[in-house]
Amino acid sequence: MESNLLELLELVDSRQDELVDLLSLLIRYKTPAPPARNTEEVQQFIADFLNKKGFMIDKWDVYPGDPNVVGVLKGKRSDEYQSLIVNGHVDVAEVSETEEWEVDPFTPIVKDGVVIGRGAADMKGGMAGALFAIQLMHEAGIDLPGDLIFQSVIGEEVGEAGTLECCKRGYKADFALVVDTSNLQIQGQGGVITGWITVKSKQTHHDATRKNMIHAGGQLFGASAIEKMMKVIQGLQDLERHWSVMKSYPGYDPGTNTINPAVIEGGRHAAFIADECRLWITVHFYPNETHEQVAKEIEEHIQLVAKADPWLRENPPTFEWGGSSMIVDRGEIFPSLEVDPEHQAVKTLSGCHESTLYEQPVIGVSPTVTDGGWFGDAGIPAAIYGPGELKHAHSINEQVSIQQLVDYTKVVLRFMFEWCHTKK
């Protein structure tokens, strides 16, 4: 078995041009989100690719023009051997017309040891490496005893959580590997939730009545919702500072858990006192916290702020959390993910990294978020492990190192092989 595996790993080196060609092909499919609704062609390519390798294909629309693809390769002895989900997203970050790329972002360039193109780092490099590893195992006639499930999902860039839809559809495994950008580190992650806080008056008032609201003896119990939202924002800043002092997590700089007032909307027009104001916030939290927990903490704190203000006490703020799409309902959730270094699969992945690349792997936390948290939320142990550096993701002339892509492909091939040969 080991000799067969070593032969496959050598093929990754000798056939790296094919690997680069596969990545280049994936980049040529224009799948930026937003605007999204543009992944049908690349998903059909991946479905056909997996089908030719013996996978049973499940393809369904999450949104029109944006289907998920799940390929299942049933193991010879599924009941006895470990199963694995390999997960990645095919949508890529949006591209502004003002960005000064060397060439069209969806016309890949191979030069100076890198592949340049939108999605090279985030995360079509990870997808290409995993697919090429599957191709090499198929060509070698390897029959895995454990199940291998490949998930090609949509929507990660805009919080549309194609991975969540896979979990809802019932796909499970003993471990999930999210092949997103991690610079070949084994990572967990914090989480993100967005929310809307609304301050709304029960009455509307002409702007000429402002003097009666703010001057002595005016006798008008009213207020500008915009000005009252300033108290809410101050309360959020106080809570954010409190969190930075009282909370921490290994691998994160102090104060990484933040509450960002991202967007504010309010008022009708200049002839009215603003009777409504809405604040859109983005909350980052640590891997050992849940989005329900941090939302509850924010609500309780802001409710206390409101009780200390005579007008807000009578017109308390309301809260709306999360959402299924930054495009459709202007909201998103990314659950957190803790990686257990003692989990058998994490040890196996670490061993594959070390024996292939002759270096100790780094087990840490991602400074950003991925779909990995949905596996933790579903009770499936998981880790993030993929090629590409975060500084290149979403950037002009986005790129991935070819050597790192080759290294990653070897490790992920070895991990798929070894984990699916591990007895339960």
Domains along the sequence of the chain with CATH: 2-189+337-419 (3.40.630.10), 191-321 (3.30.70.360)
Residue 357 exposed, middle or buried by CB count within 10 Å (0-12, 13-18, 19+): middle
Q: Is 156 a catalytic residue?
A: yes
Cis peptide before 34 (omega within 30 of 0): yes
66, 147, 156, 371: the active-site residue: 156
pLDDT, residue 1, reads 61
Candidate list 66, 91, 122, 180, residue with the active-site label:
91
Given a contact cutoff of 8 angstroms between Cβ atoms, the answer to whether 421 and 143 are in contact is no
Answering whether pTM is above 0.85, one says yes
For the chain, how many residues are written?
Answer: 424
Sign of the CA dihedral with 226 first, then 231, 237, and 239 last? negative
- One digit per residue, the tens of pLDDT, for the chain of length 424 reads 667 899 999 999 999 999 999 999 999 999 999 999 999 999 999 999 999 999 999 999 999 999 999 999 999 999 999 999 999 999 999 999 999 999 999 999 999 999 999 999 999 999 999 999 999 999 999 999 999 999 999 999 999 999 999 999 999 999 999 999 999 999 999 999 999 999 999 999 999 999 999 999 999 999 999 999 999 999 999 999 999 999 999 999 999 999 999 999 999 999 999 999 999 999 999 999 999 999 999 999 999 999 999 999 999 999 999 999 999 999 999 999 999 999 999 999 999 999 999 999 999 999 999 999 999 999 999 999 999 999 999 999 999 999 999 999 999 999 999 999 999 9
Residue closest to 314 by CA, chosen among 151, 203, 184? 203
207 catalytic per annotation: no
